[in-house]
Structure 1
Amino acid sequence: MDSVASTLAAQYHKVIDPLNARPRQAAVTTTAVALTLSLAWVLKDFHAWRSFGTGGTPPTWAGYWRMTKIRLNRMLLFGKDDLCDPSPLSSSGPQYLDPAAIPTREGPRPAIMARTMPQRQVPYKAGTADAGVEERVRTMMASLAAKHPSILDLRPSKTEGGSTDAIYAKPALETLNDKARDNKLLGTEIAHAHPSDGSLHVWLSEADAKIVVEKGWGMRFPLKFIDKGWAMVYAPRTMAEADVVERIVRAGIAWVSGVEV
């Protein structure tokens, strides 16, 4: 009987053990594939993050992880916060943009990159913008600084980690906004353009930022601890749109420097 039992047991394990091993092998294979795909996505996302500018964060893996945590926290805590919604912004206080003179931007809002920082739009396809528009945006900060040297400085953008030029209000201005004197994150920075997509960040009064969002020219900044007037402005596609964008930047100059230009 013992020999029969041993034989039956051996035959049982010969049949059952491979069956038990198959789910384990499948699980290992599935896990390996998932890890490979995840690693590939992370590598692609990391390089895309660096190529679009890092929002002032060092372009390292540590910087990427810091921005990824902000991205995840925003998805979990503020997932329903529509940055195109102007309602969190107040209409009271100083205003340098005339709502009647700011047309509603034509067409749909541009697609936005799927990350919190840096805040960027998906670049327009080549040839979408009229001739000369991209160059005008690229040189807009230098041009304004050259026209108004008594109130503006042109320096690498602190908020963009020095990756692009920005205009700053001169710190010694008697008319300088008190918020700029006290704000350690923005300082006296007024505006900068992003070479990767042609969009801009501009520090506006809250009332002006609301006009920009309401009229479809931009969106609110995603980080709650930054002044509410710090807004993203979409890349212009025509010279007429570039005129509006420059008007918005000039409103930022007036707000921060206290001098209308």
Structure 2
Amino acid sequence: MAAISSTISAYYNKFVNTIKARPRNAAITSTALALAISLAWVVQDFHDWKAFGTGGTPPTWAGYWRMTKIRVNRRIHTLLQLGKDDLIDASTLSASGPKYLDPDNIPVRGGKRPQLVSRTMPQRQVPYKSDAIEPGVAERVSDMTAIFAARYSDILDLKPSKTEGGSADAIYAKLSLPTLNERAKRDRILTTEIAHHHPSELSFHVWLSEADAKTVVEKGWGQRFPMASVDKGWTMVYAPRTMPEVDVVERIVKAGIAWVSGVVV
């Protein structure tokens, strides 16, 4: 990454010096400078996007432009609505229907919500500094889906996440389950995927009932997914920082297992 930034900087400085040496007028110089800065930003943003994981999109320039269009469209939508679609606003989620989390027994998450990466897709938080995470937390998070799959092998499969383009493992409810949620049978995007974590910063995506998603958002443990085409229960769960927070995240994932598989674990 340092080599890339150095190369961008070198080309940028050379371009700026050329402009200064042969100025025609201030307008042309300003425009050229703006274009150079924009180009440098786009190249850096492309490599940052790949580093955080691409959310299932091919890590190519074509994939990047596809995600950028989603990002721009969301900004335009926000402007037209004369306000921001606040993903931590749980008012759009229904409190009725199945619940596998008891709101009274889910504590309010301590501290501020984590900062999110500015891109709409993939939905990621800015990684915590290493000293903000207790020893052992990263290992528990990284092993969580595999442990659940092994523990409940009669109802779960562990396989590459379709929604992450195979870049992370996910737990899926078995298609043969007689208790399988009818939504999972019909959903072409999530299919029977329940949860996966993001190795780059240890957050999760979990498919919850809408009522449980509302609890998670209201209690500060996560936020809504930004794409209206995805089921409302598909929720981003923030990376845990302490062992007690991992315990809460495990309860959230278990709620997802119950919602999709129809089996309470």
TM over 0.5: yes
Rounded Cα–Cα distance in structure 2 between residues aligned with 1:92 and 1:156? 32
Name the counterpart of 1:59: 59
Count matched residues: 240
Rounded Cα–Cα distance in structure 2 between residues aligned with 1:89 and 1:48? 32
Structure 2 gaps of 5+ residues are 1-21
Name the counterpart of 2:74: 74
Q: State the secondary structure of the residue aligned to 2:133.
A: coil
- The answer to whether the 8 A contact 2:179-2:263 is kept is yes
**1:23 Cα offset (Å):** 8.4
Q: State the secondary structure of the residue aligned to 2:40.
A: helix
Name the counterpart of 1:17: none
Counterpart AA for 1:133:
V
Name the counterpart of 1:135: 139
Match of 2:114 among 101, 110, 116: 110
Per-residue CA shift, 1:193-232, capped at 9, x if unaligned? 0000110000000000000000000000000010000000
**Structure 1 vs Structure 2: percent identity of aligned residues?**
69
**1:74 Cα offset (Å):** 0.5
Name the counterpart of 1:47: 47
- The answer to whether the 8 A contact 2:23-2:29 is kept is no
Q: State the secondary structure of the residue aligned to 2:92.
A: coil
Q: How do 1:86-235 residues align onto structure 2 when only pairs under 5 Å count?
A: 86-235=90-239
Rounded Cα–Cα distance in structure 1 between residues aligned with 2:153 and 2:71? 38
Per-residue CA shift, 1:54-109, capped at 9, x if unaligned? 11111111110010010011011035100000000000000000111100000010
Structure 1 gaps of 5+ residues are 1-21
Name the counterpart of 2:18: none
**1:28 Cα offset (Å):** 2.1
**1:25 Cα offset (Å):** 2.5
Counterpart AA for 1:188:
T
**1:175 Cα offset (Å):** 0.3
**1:31 Cα offset (Å):** 1.7
Name the counterpart of 1:36: 36
Rounded Cα–Cα distance in structure 1 between residues aligned with 2:149 and 2:72? 38
Rounded Cα–Cα distance in structure 2 between residues aligned with 1:25 and 1:109? 47
TM-score (norm 1): 0.90
Counterpart AA for 1:248:
I
Counterpart AA for 1:56:
G
Name the counterpart of 1:10: none
**1:50 Cα offset (Å):** 0.6
Match of 2:87 among 54, 79, 83: 83
**1:27 Cα offset (Å):** 2.0
Rounded Cα–Cα distance in structure 1 between residues aligned with 2:51 and 2:28? 35
- The answer to whether the 8 A contact 2:222-2:237 is kept is yes
**1:245 Cα offset (Å):** 0.2
What RMSD over aligned residues (CA atoms) do the two structures have, in Å? 1.1
Counterpart AA for 2:35:
L
Rounded Cα–Cα distance in structure 2 between residues aligned with 1:77 and 1:26? 35
Counterpart AA for 2:145:
M
**1:192 Cα offset (Å):** 0.2
Counterpart AA for 2:202:
G
**1:29 Cα offset (Å):** 1.7
**1:33 Cα offset (Å):** 1.2
Rounded Cα–Cα distance in structure 1 between residues aligned with 2:230 and 2:188? 10
Name the counterpart of 2:262: 258
Rounded Cα–Cα distance in structure 1 between residues aligned with 2:76 and 2:140? 39
